[in-house]
Amino acid sequence: MMTVGIIGLGLIGGSLAKAYKHSGQARVLGYDLDVSTKELALMSGVLDGYLTRETMSSCDLILIAVHPRAGIRFIREHADDFGEKPIVIDCGGIKRTVCETVFPIAAAHGFTFIGGHPMAGSHNSGFKYSKTDMFVGAPMVLVPADMNDLQLIETAKSLLSPAGFGRYSVTTAAEHDRMIAFTSQLAHVVSNAYIQSPTAGSHKGFSAGSYQDLTRVAWLDADMWTELFLENSDYLNAELDTIISCLQNFRSAIAQGDDDRLRDMLNYGKHRKEEVDGH
């Protein structure tokens, strides 16, 4: 039976802890700055014990599920505590800042680090919203220091298997951040901007699925997303420039009453959706 250590017992870390515990394949040790959260996880049977400086080196896998900057600080503070046994994987939403900082630390202190990003979540946050099946079928992104270290990648996949991930992508930190700017960060900006319309206050009785779909991720952790946006500002701003230009084209066609142009733009968007997603 493996031993997994989890730092941060919020939505992601708590869900990982529950998944590993439920699998019956792991002894789960956890740590959280919030003492009540840590105690609740232990009392509810999600944890088998607390993760401490003394127990880190006994783990097979350590998952760091806190904000990226906090994760970097934790790794710096505990670089001498990990030892050579565990593979350390962070679960933050950006990878360049984390990997560029931590890869050299790992090399200098003799532990193995892989950047990671479990592609699942919720607009809610905190341990009480964590779920055993959060990651079942979900993608997991891995960013190793050496893309050619196939043995390490396979070992990481094996250690992560109790969480239930459906597929793994192995990529570079830069490619991860470029893609995530479009698939996640831009969506959060657009959702948040959309709900700030004065009209939103009177939407009840006039809204259905479209409104719910577009506003779901406006309910966010402002501190975390501020950090993610600013750390990935180059890629995110490029995506914002693209969508702003597209919106300006829509506005122009609508303002000018140009039905042919507007129809063409709408058809292109529909066909692009079919082309990209197959439906």
Q: What is the pLDDT of residue 121?
A: 81
CA distance 124 to 113: 28
C-alpha dist (Å) from residue 166 to 17, 23, 223, 277: 18, 15, 29, 18
d(CA 106, CA 75): 9
Query: Distance from CA of residue 147 to its chain's centroid?
Result: 21
Query: What token pair was written down for 12?
Result: 């992601």
| Residue 94: predicted pLDDT | 96
- How far does CA 197 lie from the centroid of its chain? 28
Q: Cα(220)–Cα(202) distance, rounded to whole angstroms? A: 21
**Which tens digits make up the pLDDT trace of 35-91?**
999 999 999 999 999 999 999 999 999 999 999 999 999 999 999 999 999 999 999
Q: What is the pLDDT along the chain (279 residues), one digit of tens a residue?
A: 999 999 999 999 999 999 999 999 999 999 999 999 999 999 999 999 999 999 999 999 999 999 999 999 999 999 999 999 999 999 999 999 999 999 999 999 999 999 999 998 877 788 999 999 999 999 999 999 999 999 999 999 999 999 999 999 999 999 999 999 999 999 999 999 999 999 988 898 788 889 998 999 999 889 999 999 999 999 999 999 999 999 999 999 999 999 999 999 999 999 999 999 986
Amino acid at 4: V
Q: What is the pLDDT of residue 194?
A: 94
Q: What is the identity of the amino acid at 83?
A: G
DSSP 79-140: TTTS-SSPEEEE--S--HHHHHHHHHHHHHHT-EEEEEEE----S--SGGG--TTTTTT-EE
Report yes or no: 24 and 56 within 8 Å, Cβ to Cβ: no
Beta bridge partners of 50: 30
Query: What was the pLDDT predicted at 206?
Result: 81
Q: 110, 84 in Cβ contact below 8 A?
A: yes
Quote the pTM value.
0.92
Domains, the chain, ordered by start: 2-171 (3.40.50.720), 176-277 (1.10.3660.10)
> Which phi and psi angles does 201 have, rounded to 5°?
-65, -20
